[in-house]
Amino acid sequence: MLSLVPTRLLQSGRRPLSPGSRAGLGAALVLLAIVSAVELADGRPAHYVALLVAAPILAAALAAWQVVLAVGAAATLIGAGFALVEPEMSLVTSVNVVGVALATGLAVAVASVRQRQAVKIAELTKLASVAQQAVLRSLGPQVGTLSVAGRYISSTATAEIGGDLYEAIDTPYGVRMIIGDVRGKGLDAVRLASIVLGSYRHVAYERADLRAVVADLDRAVARNVGDEDFVTAALVEERGGTLTIVNCGHPPPLLLRRGAVIPLEPPAPAPPLGFMPVVRPRVERLEPGDRLLLFTDGLGEARRDGEFFPTADRAWRLLGHGTVADGLASLETALVEWVHGRLDDDIALVLMEYAGARTGAAAAVPSWEVGAAES
């Protein structure tokens, strides 16, 4: 009987109730049942009608305004029923019933405002996701001769978005990849990330020397940031089995080879883009089956109880199986479990696998040597 009014107000033709609305409706109905049972057990006159006001207020914290209205209507009718069965309706009971009706109106208004705010937050979150996807294109599964996968792990479900970036493209100078991290968050960070990626997608095809690519990106960043803004980045080129890496203040990539994990530290440190970095390339000869993990500093900073995620210790077990996409999925699962679902920063990940040089491929020449030969 208690659910008669809510049921009639929420009949077929309406959309299914959300989990929040179901929880609010359930809690409110339980409260109505408890108050009604206590009132019936106490007998006449009615002493607890005023407690019915808590039902619509409780529903307003979780449910849609339509559910709140239904609950309030049920509470008002129940209170009026107890008042009418009294031999002589008292002024206190009448005031209590009117108070329940007024509280219902207030609760409906509160629920309506909360519902509109929730819709705005959902729209902002969707806009943030669209903006992020516009900046970061999906990678792989194959770029040139490499198997490549990328993954973006957001630290929050709100509209706060970061400036982590990555790209992998097949150029005349081999497969070139970049991973970077813009200082700060929000739309300004996304704007700068889009500038870096737009410049990179152009100059990566035009510049034979990775150091020239870095110089072009540095100028693009310097033209669009303040004095304290910058972008850390690592650029990687694979050409016929030769890996060339230049690093601008970014965490070094991890080379996974036959069960070992090797951090590819740069020969000399260089500042981030925006601070005129002078980079020195690191060159490695790849072996078939080698995998390379590029990541932003959110991975290195992920911790629980002050203990950082052991990336180097667990990288091979997590990333060395299945496809590169499988490896990144395993890493994300282990990372989220480690921090109990609470990350302090967004994380961008790129994993590539080298299967071996093409048959009849020309001898590998690092891009920095190509650039030196042309100068």
Mean pLDDT per 10-residue section of the chain, whose length is 375 residues = 46 60 82 84 76 87 88 88 75 83 91 88 74 76 94 69 87 96 81 92 95 96 82 96 97 95 96 95 96 94 88 93 95 92 88 81 52 42
Residue 12: per-residue pLDDT: 41
CATH 3.30.70.560 fits 136-354, yes or no: no
Backbone angles phi, psi at 280, to 5 degrees: -115, 125
Q: How many other CB atoms are there within 10 angstroms of residue 172's CB atom? A: 9
Integer Cα distance of 247 and 270 in angstroms: 7
Residue 201: per-residue pLDDT: 94
Residue 366: per-residue pLDDT: 57
Integer Cα distance of 271 and 248 in angstroms: 5
User: HEC string of 193-240?
Assistant: HHHHHHHHHHHHHHCCCHHHHHHHHHHHHHCCCCCCCCEEEEEEEEEC
Three-class SS of residue 130?
A: helix
N-terminal to C-terminal alpha carbon distance within the chain? 88
Residue 375: per-residue pLDDT: 39
**DSSP secondary structure string for all residues of 295-330:** E-HHHHH-EETTEEP-HHHHHHHHHSSS-HHHHHHH
Residue 8: per-residue pLDDT: 46
Residue 200: per-residue pLDDT: 96
Residue 59: per-residue pLDDT: 87
Residue 140: per-residue pLDDT: 83
Domain boundaries, the chain: 19-128, 136-354
356-361: list long-range contacts, CB under 8 Å, 24+ apart: 356/145, 356/241, 356/288, 357/145, 357/240, 357/241, 358/145, 358/240, 361/240, 361/241
Residue 9: per-residue pLDDT: 45
Q: Which residues pair with 162 in a beta bridge?
A: 185
Residue 254: per-residue pLDDT: 97
